[in-house]
Amino acid sequence: MNRLDQAFVEGAEQGAVRLLPFLPAGFPDVSTTMAILERLTPKGCTAVELGIPYSDPIADGPVIQDAFARALATGFRVEDLWSALREARPRLAVPLIAMVSYSIVFRRGPERFVEEALMAGIDGLIVPDLSIEESPVLHEICQQRGCALTMIAAPTSTARRRETIARISSPFIYYQSIAGITGERSALPPDLVQNVESLRQLGGKPVCVGFGIAKPEHVRDVCRVADGAIVGSAIVRRMIAATDRGVPHAALVDEIVAFIEELGAG
């Protein structure tokens, strides 16, 4: 088992729920990404999703799109992220999941991308624009190399697609709580409990919920019914606001780490 698999096994043994924060890799720069990662511990979060900037994201809302655009405008390159992660990985205590467009994976070649990701210390992938029909190739490569591949189920997914997603997803199933793009919401959807339980029964795996989770109370409410909460836009919005205020590097890192800890405490 890799670090991500182990974290979920240990969480299940301990009856623990999970927080999975999302960070936009390379925003405002790669050094800030590494500094935040170095401050996060398994007590505060189970794993971190690292969003790899892409010019045409399929599911990201305006906040994450803005962070990606800024990272790309400053010259972000995947090679720079891999290099920084290889150097920092011995100091990082939490598993890492790369959330990446399949266009990037395909352009580099699935085998090459997975190998590079693993060498950099990535433990799993989430590829939101990878269709079920096109997933077998990447799924097989990930299985052979020991890289987790987490699939996303949406409220609009058919029963047949949910069955396939639940079967091939590891070590957890990502449930997109609302149809549409990422972003903060004021309330959680009423069908959340039913859909989470259905996926859990189909796959016999933990179900973590993302899209729309913005506050500690949201994390608390989600974790009453699901196995984990994924928070993205609320974190990224604070990063953008701090950057626009000209907050110094160290203070920005402190602010984001404190907010993630606040979410975890929820």
DSSP state of 155: T
Q: Containing H/E element for 18?
A: strand 18-24
- Decide if 123 contacts 95 (C-beta within 8 A): yes
| Nearest C-alpha neighbor of 18 from the set 55, 47, 59 | 47
Active-site residue, 60 included:
yes
Amino acid at 238: R
CA distance 66 to 245: 16
CA distance 140 to 149: 10
Ordered strands of the 48-51 beta sheet: 148-150, 124-126, 96-99, 48-51, 18-24, 228-231, 207-210, 173-176, 152-153
| Nearest C-alpha neighbor of 209 from the set 160, 236, 175 | 175
Active-site residue, 5 included:
no
Which member of 5, 10, 38, 60 is catalytic?
Answer: 60
Which member of 5, 38, 49, 129 is catalytic?
Answer: 49
Which residues are tagged catalytic? Answer: 49, 60
